Every structure is written in structure tokens, then in C-alpha cells.
Amino acid sequence: MSKIHAKITAVEGYAPEDVITNDDLSKMVDTNDEWIMSRIGIKTRHILKGDKGPSDMAKIVVDRILQDKGISPEEIGLVICCTVTPDMPFPATANIVADKCGIKNGFGFDINAGCCGFVYGLTTATKYIEAGFVKKAIVIGAEKMTSIVNYEDRATCPIFGDAAAAVLLEATEEEGVGVIDEILHSDGVGVKHLHQVAGGSCHPASIETVTNRQHFIYQEGQAVFKWAVVKMAEVTEELLEKNNMQKSDIDYLLPHQANLRIIKATGDRLELKPEQVLVNIEDYGNTTSATIPMLMYQNRDKFKKGDNLILTAFGAGFTWGSILVKWAL
């Protein structure tokens, strides 16, 4: 019997219309466009206003996938929502999205792997498909990062934005396309450098946690930078070697979008031409779990069947990883 593979058969992305510009930020904290562009590379970030959550953005992209593919919600066996900003602590945002989209015959859960969420989520869904457990899965990256941004902290407030993007993953017996291989890593050494102190069970919301602004992102930028700038390239080299591939075999790199300097350094170490390294950080900022599927959505018309795509990310945990996808469409 031939082996079952998982292939991406649709991708969609969405970002809210409202944006925060560098000039807007310069009215809130001591910063300016020149510093943000030269140190991070971001011009605007999108913001989801009001009491909406990641599930509202995710519903838009999942509905579009189902409609465009002519698939009934009952056919979806698994929904994974990768997010660090769930609608609420529980139930999982995946369950809320499934409910909003009428997905009733499957199961779903969230994955919190920081900015590496989508890489972990795509890997997990692939394994369920390869094991014959489900035939169609939706993997979502959806974040309302602006809900945990401290707009009094100039070191973190320029970085993050809101968005959602998702892929449809389907079982196939076709050889040589789809999600081919992946390597994932994590190291708890990163906990102290990048976290949100309050809102969990150790420090539930209290007057003190709110007053001390502990419900926001805490990041030691330089420590995170030093790891991120090495690890995405390193794990990609590891993945290439495991698959007997050369750097020249990569058609496109879809790197996590945290800092343009990190993206460029990763592309350079992998000896890629600038046009092979996909970038949207200038317009969206870091949308955490949504960066990679959003890049895939925006560049889908460039990809040809059989192209080697490398998806790589680094995030809170620390978590990092790389996936090799042979484009199937």
C-alpha cells in the first residue's frame, strides 16, 4: 500500500484594515520612523479593534478556504489553531473557530509555541494525516498581539501586529509533493528572556498585576536576537543535510518575520538571493503564529508545483524549527 502524505491544497490570509504607523507610535513613546525602520524594518502593523479575537479573523480565512475549495465543514477532521493570544484561556480558540465555521465532525486544539507556532502546528497536523487519522485538516495561525503589547514600552511596541492565515492540509498518495520533512527544537533557557508574567495560574489577574503592567509582552531583545539570528539558519541547514539537499535546492525561504536584520542574516547564511527570501514585515510587523502562512498566502502565485519551500521560525520558549514543503498546487 502506498504511503499517505499531507499536502497543502489551499491557503488564505487576512489582516484588519486599521493600522498603527511609526508616526502614531512616536506620539505614544520616545521613538521615530528612522530608528524603527533601521533597527527592525517595520512601517505599519495592523490592529484588530474592539472586543474581537483571533477567532474572528480565523473565521474569515477558514470560511474562504471552505468556499473556494467547495468543501463542506463536515469534511474537516482536525482544526489546529496556533496562537499565543487565544480568545480566552479556555476553551481552545480552535474550538471557537470550528463552532463559528460549522465544523462539527472533527476535533481541535490550540498550539502555543510562540512565534514558531505555525511550524509546530503544520508538523502536528501532518503527522495526524500521515497516520491515517484524518483526511482534511485546517492549520491556522491567528494572533491579536496588540492585546498584549505595552504601548509604554518603546522596545516592544513597534514590533507586533494582528493577523490570521490558514492552510488546508489534505491526505494524498501522490509521491514527491507536500510536507516532506521537518526538524523542531525547544529550549527552556528562553523562558526568562521572552514571556508574559501574568494571566496564567501563577499570577492570575489582580490589581497588582494590572498596575505593574504584567499582562504584556516582556522581551529582552538582544538575548532573543542573538538566538534567532543563528537558529533559523542552523536548523534549516540541519534539515537540508537530513534530506541530502544543498542550499541551492531551496526555491523560497518563508522565514518568521521578527526583525528584517534577522531575516536578511538568515537568507545570507543560506546563500539565497533576496528575491528568494519572502518578506512582509514592513507592512505587518511580527504577527507571531500568522507570519508564515500569511507569507505563503501573499506569494502563492509565485510558487510552481514541485518548488522547495523552507518554512522556518524562532520564538518564545525558546522554540525553533524548519519544515520542507514541496509545493503541490
Ligand X SMILES: CC(C)(COP(=O)(O)OP(=O)(O)OC[C@H]1O[C@@H](n2cnc3c(N)ncnc32)[C@H](O)[C@@H]1OP(=O)(O)O)[C@@H](O)C(=O)NCCC(=O)NCCS
Give me the residues that bind ligand X (CB under 6 A), please: 31, 35-36, 39-40, 115, 154-155, 158, 221-222, 224-225, 228, 258-259, 262, 286, 314-315
Q: Which is nearer to ligand X, 30 or 173 (CB)?
A: 30
Cβ proximity to ligand X, 154 vs 300, nearer residue: 154
Residue among 239, 222, 230, 219 nearest 179 (CA): 239
> Least distance to ligand X from the beta carbon of 260, Å?
9
- Whole-number minimum distance, CB 140 to ligand X, in Å? 18
Would you say 9 or 31 has its CB closer to ligand X?
Answer: 31
- Residue nearer to ligand X on the CB measure, 37 or 71: 37
The nearest distance, CB 184 to ligand X, in angstroms, is 16
Q: Looking at beta carbons only, is 26 or 172 nearer to ligand X?
A: 26
To ligand X, the closest distance from the beta carbon of 229 in angstroms equals 8
154 or 247: whose CB is closer to ligand X?
A: 154
The 3-class secondary structure across the chain, one letter per residue, is CCCCEEEEEEEEEECCCCEEEHHHHHCCCCCCHHHHHHHCCCCEEECCCCCCCHHHHHHHHHHHHHHHHCCCHHHCCEEEEECCCCCCCCCCHHHHHHHHHCCCCCEEEEECECECHHHHHHHHHHHHHHCCCCCEEEEEEEEEHHHHCCCCCCCCCCCECEEEEEEEEEEECCCCCEEEEEEEEECHHHCCCEECCCCCCCCCCCHHHHHCCCCCCEECHHHHHHHHHHHHHHHHHHHHHHCCCCHHHCCEEEECCCCHHHHHHHHHHCCCCHHHECCCHHHHCECHHHHHHHHHHHHCCCCCCCCEEEEEEEECCCEEEEEEEECCC
Name 168's bridge partners: 10, 138
Indicate which residues carry an active-site annotation: 115, 256, 286
**Minimum distance from residue 153 beta carbon to ligand X (Å):** 8
At closest approach, how far in Å is the CB of 119 from ligand X?
Answer: 13
The closest residue (CB) to ligand X is 221
